[in-house]
Structure 1
């Protein structure tokens, strides 16, 4: 803690990479241009799918929708925890699985939030109170205090003061139903009547959602938003886009559900599922938005975070440096972050960890701290994304621009080009390498495909022995047309060929 205070911060500004763990997120959140389109009209909500890469800000946006809901008469219900029974597979997951879980979370969010105003339920007419009692018996009847608190923790839209209230007023092993019925003046229901009502209710979960909305609207709320997140983090989905899509498929294919009056389904999901979504569902009927971060917007994110944790005294990372380098360090951090707010945090955390290790009483960040911290991040992120073998092969290649001919003859030295071609195909498939048109090479009759390593972290790793200041002098070219950062040594381009932007493929000069 003393290290960060020496630098001018109240606490560690880069301690968390998970938006759910950030208590001050609202103070430095930079909304995307379409944020208002995602929240929509609280009186007439619609379904929305928000796509982004991992670390692209999906959960941060979900949290801001939760905050927006509090002041717009919306009951926001977070659904980001997916539990499976023994032997249950994703193919076994149907719409009833999701709707039952959603109804449980709606009831808990609604009932928990009324802890300060129990009379609002007591004021309901007899019919509505009986219906609510049936719902509590059917969905929460077998839940004890421990399970209730566990579910409450997973519903991020429930305020902390409400969680604290219930943790004090219900024992871990105490049946939840007894506390709820007593707190809200609701009647116990006899078992035969309950079974009969459950049979009636089970005929349509969607109808149940409509009934619940009617009750909630009586307390002045306009609508219910179901905020679905972290689909790719469950035990069954892992790193697979296909399995992630299978989990959400029953919901996104049901247009009747997504168009349910008074409900806004907001699905925050990994962008790798897009091909499955387009092929299988009806994306033309569901509003879609993609979160993308330019380097300039990442710099705003970094500046806002620094300012929040320093009471406005620090707005640029460069202010922390002992000596100003020839390159813009804030710009460099956001470039290596490669369009990811999470990576901005990870890079800065690595830099500070390196500096603290070198000198824990330092009041500045040294140039070597920046260089080593960025290099550590680059090594970590590339191994995570592409694997050690791919990273090792590209480091052997020793350059960010190459032809298959060059790899076969000068690097891997195989008699047949197919070995190198297969490697390049693999690099392309994992999104690490892009084809940059063709080039003419002296002594070769036909043009050769020209390839570019498009991840800045991998390019830095290829040239890890080159000091960072020198690295930028040699190979940082911003496209004058699309403003994309191109990290490439143009001296590697064969004579007679124009340097082209890897993004728009237009000439860089």
Structure 2
């Protein structure tokens, strides 16, 4: 039997790509996210901004769109050097020990800025590049050499080659006017051009009269403390303004996607707090910080533990309404059907498409990325289960329910550790209080609070109210908590997984047993 895609005559499966980075034609059907224009304006003005959002809410899509839009501007237009800061591998050893030093993060920023400028220089023609490199005055040469020595050439060559290839690819995708030129060159050839540019800079350093200023600059960049961090950022701005850039816009994203931070809002907060807590770093002229952060981090910045002056930093939380999701789904189907179909045309006539859409949106946690993933699972499962059914071309209610079950069972273990899932699965309901946790785990009140705090930190549960005190003695009303992840809620209410299927959480072994727990 033909697949649903074949039956409908679609170009391909509209839902096979889950992330903005891997969708080759996303510009043809993407619905522009909220706050995009506001963030583009902030980047062009070189002022800070924080965009909070749930996972999959479109933070990375917004970042990539911003990156592409600014790089697409003509060189005659005022534009900053836009740099992505999305790889925190170098900071993780310090984070595991407790905290990341501010100067470590600033050093990484300096490396990325220098790398981006070198990547841009490699994209130019020989003549264009020479116009910049041969017109440098002595102070500019000294600054470039000092920054190269302090933050770039100090890295192992293998590391530089790896990150340079990534930077070249991203810049090539964003900078459409240079694609024809770059298409004829391999990335290793472009890396060779970068090496030649660096060599040309360093050869300009000849004699004591040039070396002395460079060494003086290096000493000023090698200090410690906040003043030096601010100085480094100012020097980086001076560096990029040697070229046709008005300043720097750093796009900080994927903070919660490392192996240390992915299930901890606490660790995610610790990773970027050194920057956000140092207000002076956010006020460097022509240097803009644009953060794309997990919503779960915001309460930590509002608490004493990782306090951030959010009143001084413009910020917003990205949220999508049902109208957006409907438009998003229709746009995809319209593109993949050459304008012939809409999302509703995927379903059998008897299906209440509005209700089905609401269910799918709910299970996706109102995330554009997860919504695409859910639909892919539904379509693939539908085709598999109806492979021999001539009448099974369009989606049925059974297809929807079975697809949603399949999605939550397969997806949830990639979102939360099995230990955490095993713990939450031992509760009898999606709404609970501390006493329920005590009973389920045979632990005391403090141990129960610790577990609940860990679940909150992972974004799995939220405090949603209070209950009346039990008994005749009155007392403090207990807090009530609710499992807010609809995927976990579906797992529990439909009992889709048996407790023993979760490894690492034995069902017969209490944690910190307490005889007084009831």
> TM exceeds 0.5?
yes
For the pair 1:331 / 2:349, whether they are aligned, the reply is no
Structure 2 residue runs of 5 or longer lacking an equivalent are 174-178, 497-518
Compare 75-84 and 352-361 and name the one that shifted more: 352-361
**Which of the numbers 131, 150, 168 marks the counterpart of 2:143?**
131
1:169–1:431 Cα change, 3 Å:
closer
1:180–1:33 Cα change, 3 Å:
same
Is the contact made by 1:121 and 1:129 (CA closer than 8 Å) also made in structure 2?
A: no
1:30-70, CA deviations, whole angstroms, 9 ceiling, x for partnerless residues? 33442222222555321111111222221111111102212
1:56–1:319 Cα change, 3 Å:
same
Q: How many angstroms apart in 2 are the aligned matches of 1:390 and 1:92?
A: 29
1:121–1:212 Cα change, 3 Å:
farther
Q: Describe the SS at the equivalent of 2:248.
A: strand
Name the counterpart of 1:230.
Answer: 254
Compare 446-455 and 292-301 and name the one that shifted more: 446-455
For the pair 1:273 / 2:291, whether they are aligned, the reply is no
CA deviation after TM superposition for structure 1 residue 436, in Å: 7.0
For the pair 1:187 / 2:211, whether they are aligned, the reply is no
For the pair 1:121 / 2:118, whether they are aligned, the reply is no
Q: Describe the SS at the equivalent of 2:293.
A: strand
Q: Describe the SS at the equivalent of 1:50.
A: strand
Name the counterpart of 1:79.
Answer: 85
- Count of residues in correspondence between the two structures: 452
Q: How many angstroms apart in 2 are the aligned matches of 1:305 and 1:269?
A: 27
Q: How does 1:315-330 map to 2 (within 5 A)?
A: 315-316=342-343, 318-328=344-354, 329-330=356-357
Compare 279-288 and 31-40 and name the one that shifted more: 31-40
Name the counterpart of 1:93.
Answer: 100
Is the contact made by 2:378 and 2:403 (CA closer than 8 Å) also made in structure 1?
A: yes
Q: How does 1:447-462 map to 2 (within 5 A)?
A: 455-458=485-488, 460-461=490-491
For the pair 1:159 / 2:165, whether they are aligned, the reply is no
For the pair 1:17 / 2:52, whether they are aligned, the reply is no
Is the contact made by 2:95 and 2:267 (CA closer than 8 Å) also made in structure 1?
A: no
Q: TM-score, normalised by structure 2?
A: 0.72
Please list every run of at least 4 consecutive aligned residues from structure 1 whose deviation after the TM superposition is greater than 6 angstroms: 400-405, 421-428, 436-439, 446-453
1:94-115, CA deviations, whole angstroms, 9 ceiling, x for partnerless residues? 1211111111111111121122
Q: How many angstroms apart in 2 are the aligned matches of 1:28 and 1:154?
A: 26
For the pair 1:67 / 2:68, whether they are aligned, the reply is yes
Q: How does 1:350-389 map to 2 (within 5 A)?
A: 350-359=377-386, 363-380=393-410, 384-385=415-416, 387-389=421-423
CA deviation after TM superposition for structure 1 residue 345, in Å: 1.4
1:310–1:120 Cα change, 3 Å:
farther
Name the counterpart of 1:493.
Answer: none
1:453–1:270 Cα change, 3 Å:
closer
Structure 1 residue runs of 5 or longer lacking an equivalent are 467-509
Q: Describe the SS at the equivalent of 2:362.
A: helix
**Which of the numbers 134, 140, 147 marks the counterpart of 2:159?**
147
- Higher relative contact order, chain-length normalized (CA < 8 Å, sep 6+): 2
1:153–1:306 Cα change, 3 Å:
farther
